[in-house]
Amino acid sequence: MKYFTRYLCSIASNLNINCNINNLLENIFEESGFDKTSCSISHSQLYKEMLVNFNVDVIDIKINPETQALINTVFFTVQTNFWH
């Protein structure tokens, strides 16, 4: 969750259709807590607070190798010309 907006920004930078870029930018603003209709808190912060309420210690969470491979694959994909 920490870098979700990085994926959205990477996708937006590779799109060539303005309406799609605008839709993603709106989502980035909402995800970041800058949307005027939101509660002015980022989705990542909401997620962290939820984990705290469930007594999950996020500092001790280890990323599984498979999860890291998925993160790397998704980030690589959104940085390529796949979207053209």
Q: Report pTM.
A: 0.57
Record the tokens describing residue 47, joined without a space: 């997620």
Most confident of 10-14, 23-27, 80-84: 23-27
Q: Using one digit for the tens of pLDDT, what is the confidence trace for 31-51? A: 777 776 656 787 778 888 888
The pLDDT of residue 45: 82
The domain tally of the chain equals 1
Residue 20, domain extent:
4-83
What end-to-end distance do the CA atoms of the chain give, in Å? 26
Average pLDDT in the 55-83 region? Answer: 82
Average pLDDT in the 9-21 region? Answer: 80
Record the tokens describing residue 23, joined without a space: 């839709």
Residues contacting 52, CB < 8 A, separation 6+: 58
